[in-house]
Amino acid sequence: MGLKIAELFRDYCLLTVTATGARATLLADVTCQVYDEAGVAFGAAIIATETANGWYYAEFTPDAAGTWTTEWSKTANPEDYTFHYPYKEFQVGAGQEADIYTRLGAPAGASVSADILVIDNFVDDLETRLTAARAGYLDELAAANLPTDVATVGALHNVPGQDAAPNVILSQVVGNKTDTVAGTSLVAIAKQIKAKTDNLPADPADDSDLDTSIAAVKAETALIVADTNELQTDLHDGGRLDLLVDAIKAKTDNLPVDPGDQSAIVAEIDANEVKIDAVKAETALIVADTGELQTDLHDGGRLDLLVDAIKAKTDNLPADPADDSDLDTSIAAVKAETALIVADSGELQTDWVNGGRLDLLIDAIKARTDNRLQAVTFFSPYQALVTLDTTHTDAALPTVTIPNWTGTVVHVYAGMKWDWVDNTKAAANKLSGVQEIQINKAGGAWTDAINFVDDMFSLPASTLRAGGSLAMGIIDLVGTIDVFNTTAQFQWDEPLTDQDSILLYNVQTFVTILYY
């Protein structure tokens, strides 16, 4: 069998159960491996689609000339099934098409039928041009008229190369078919005219090419106008995008002037730390002083001995004015104040020791400021199209590359966005059953990241360019993505829709990481 290059081809295979001979139906793991002209596997094995009653098919598009082969098999227990004609060869680029071209010649245009149409148009043009008068010219070429006509041409010719030559004959005037454009015969002049007309466009008589180009420009302009109308609707006061921008502005208006690196918060914490250090320094001096006072004022201490010595002197003073009641009162007041200071310093010493009340508060403040969480989001490249249909086949989504970032990962969340969605079915369409967007780290085990419930993506019949959206997962993926400098691969696990198909355009995945 001959195939054309770059033409979609469908290969069929019949499967029966070896033990019973019955047709093998409803199998989801029948595969067809295609091998190209070099004997190399042409991509991964294709999961075949069942048509009916044990017949399965696989589609592929050969991209080079040569002998291509297909090999049919089954993932589980292939020995239990009989594959009728499991191996086939196909001649690509040199089959029936090449044989036809060998016999007829390759078409000058897009196809042989196109060349025949050009010839038919030429014949129609000749029939239009062959008027009765022009037919009379052909009658003049009859044998009876030739001598007279030759004499007339000989008398009336006006060929520059023969104007001055006497007694010229018709062949000298007309020239030979080998004459070049440099000659002066009628053949040479005809070739000069042909050289000019060869440079004219193929269809100079009308503006069809120009009309085609203008129509294409109009079509593109109509699309641009439609898009700008959508933008005008979305961006006018109260429109969809205008409301989104207003909501974002309301949030950002409450942010500090420099929210990107939390410099204001860091500066405030640094200032508080300086103040705390100053309080610690002052408290240390107070503790040192109260320690000295405790030593000096206890019974037998330096100040206690001085007070006792003073009291010994004042006891010998006369009763009046030597009465020491005022002095005792003052000393008692000093002692009371000193006792309060000692009590306060004792509390401070208890609070400031390692594990004390103030020490624990300071440690808690430091722990929070040392490990304050920051957030960063990394996006994948765009993927032009994701198809959701009834085959229940995993759909690959774009991969996010996470760079070598400094920090300890605490929380990870995944998301996905798309620009617009189409429902290509002439009936309402939606998701069929609960489904998940899954993620893995650098090709590891898959884990659920975003959950979709039954009947989501509900779209009316033949809906085109429905608005895009964004899905953000609430599952913490730190158990899967636990470090920076890796990749996060995404897939839609076994998507399933009520109808074929829902199409998501300009799809992009992302991960948001909270770290310190």
For 313: left if phi > 0, alpha if psi spans -120 to 50, otherwise beta; the answer is alpha
CA gap 365, 494 in Å, rounded: 48
From 369, 386, 409, give the residue that closes a domain.
369
In the beta sheet, which residues pair with residue 32? 46, 72
**How high is the pLDDT of residue 112?**
64
- Our measurement of the distance from residue 397's CA atom to the centroid of its chain's CA atoms, rounded to an integer in Å, reads 9
Asked whether residue 365 falls in the same domain as residue 403, the answer is no
Please report, in tens digits, the pLDDT of each residue of the chain (516 residues total). Answer: 567 899 999 999 999 999 999 999 999 999 999 999 999 999 999 999 999 999 999 999 999 999 999 999 999 999 999 999 899 998 988 655 555 555 556 677 777 678 778 877 877 877 777 676 666 665 665 555 555 555 554 444 445 555 555 555 656 667 777 888 777 777 888 888 888 778 766 665 555 665 776 788 688 878 877 877 887 888 778 988 889 888 888 987 886 666 555 676 667 778 878 888 887 888 888 888 888 888 888 899 888 898 899 899 888 876 665 556 766 887 888 888 888 888 888 888 888 889 999 889 888 888 777 788 999 999 999 999 999 999 999 999 999 999 999 999 999 999 999 999 999 999 999 999 999 999 999 999 999 999 999 999 999 999 888 889 999 999 999 999 999 999 999 999 999 999 999 999 999 999 999 999
The CATH number assigned to the domain holding 44 equals 2.60.40.1930
- If you search the block for the tokens 């593109």, which residue do you land on? 220
Asked whether residue 87 falls in the same domain as residue 154, the answer is no
Give the number of other CB atoms < 10 A from CB of residue 177. 7
Q: Is the peptide bond before 321 cis (omega within 30 degrees of 0)?
A: yes
Domain assignment of residue 225, yes or no = no
**Residue 483: which of 415, 430, 428, 404 has the closest Cα?**
404
Asked whether residue 341 falls in the same domain as residue 465, the answer is no
For residue 317, give every residue at least 6 positions away whose Cβ sits within 8 Å of its Cβ, in sequence order, or none.
323, 324
Residue 295's alpha-carbon distances to 147, 282, 291, in angstroms, are 156, 20, 6
Phi, psi of 275, deg, nearest 5: -65, -40
Amino acid at 267: A
Residue 254's alpha-carbon distances to 232, 257, 336, 369, in angstroms, are 28, 9, 53, 22
Asked whether residue 354 falls in the same domain as residue 416, the answer is no
pTM of the model: 0.34
Q: Which long-range contacts (CB under 8 A, 24 or more apart) does 1-4 make?
A: 1/88, 1/90, 1/91, 1/95, 2/90, 2/91, 2/92, 2/94, 2/95, 2/96, 2/97, 2/98, 2/99, 3/62, 3/68, 3/90, 3/91, 3/92, 3/93, 3/95, 4/92, 4/93, 4/95, 4/97
| HSE value, Cβ hemisphere, 13 Å, CA-based, for 4 | 6
Pairing status of strand 502-515 against strand 374-379: antiparallel
Domain assignment of residue 237, yes or no = no
From 343, 369, 395, give the residue that closes a domain.
369
Give the number of other CB atoms < 10 A from CB of residue 219. 10
From 369, 386, 415, give the residue that closes a domain.
369
**Tokens describing residue 14:** 């019949």
Asked whether residue 186 falls in the same domain as residue 294, the answer is no
CA gap 173, 190 in Å, rounded: 12
Residue 364's alpha-carbon distances to 271, 272, 357, 358, in angstroms, are 17, 14, 11, 10
Burial category of 33 from C-beta neighbours within 10 Å (exposed 0-12, middle 13-18, buried 19 and up): middle
Burial category of 49 from C-beta neighbours within 10 Å (exposed 0-12, middle 13-18, buried 19 and up): middle
Asked whether residue 433 falls in the same domain as residue 464, the answer is yes
Domain, as residue range, for 434: 374-515
Asked whether residue 417 falls in the same domain as residue 505, the answer is yes
CA gap 437, 490 in Å, rounded: 7
CA gap 81, 242 in Å, rounded: 62
Q: Is the peptide bond before 501 cis (omega within 30 degrees of 0)?
A: yes
For 442: left if phi > 0, alpha if psi spans -120 to 50, otherwise beta; the answer is left
Domain assignment of residue 203, yes or no = no
Domain assignment of residue 314, yes or no = yes
**Tokens describing residue 101:** 């071209």
Asked whether residue 291 falls in the same domain as residue 341, the answer is yes
For the packed helices 325-352 and 263-297, what is the interaxial angle rounded to 10 degrees?
Answer: 140
CA gap 446, 494 in Å, rounded: 13
Asked whether residue 499 falls in the same domain as residue 387, the answer is yes
**How high is the pLDDT of residue 153?**
47
Domain assignment of residue 414, yes or no = yes
Residue 294's alpha-carbon distances to 237, 260, 298, 342, 399, in angstroms, are 76, 53, 6, 7, 71
What sign results for the dihedral spanned by CA atoms 12, 16, 18, 21? negative
Domain assignment of residue 58, yes or no = yes
Asked whether residue 271 falls in the same domain as residue 352, the answer is yes
Domain count, the chain: 4
Domain assignment of residue 115, yes or no = no
Asked whether residue 292 falls in the same domain as residue 388, the answer is no
Asked whether residue 387 falls in the same domain as residue 445, the answer is yes
Question: What does the chain come to in residues?
Answer: 516
**Tokens describing residue 190:** 């005809």
Domain assignment of residue 236, yes or no = no
For residue 515, give every residue at least 6 positions away whose Cβ sits within 8 Å of its Cβ, in sequence order, or none.
373, 374, 375, 376, 405, 407, 408, 409, 410, 484
**How high is the pLDDT of residue 156?**
43
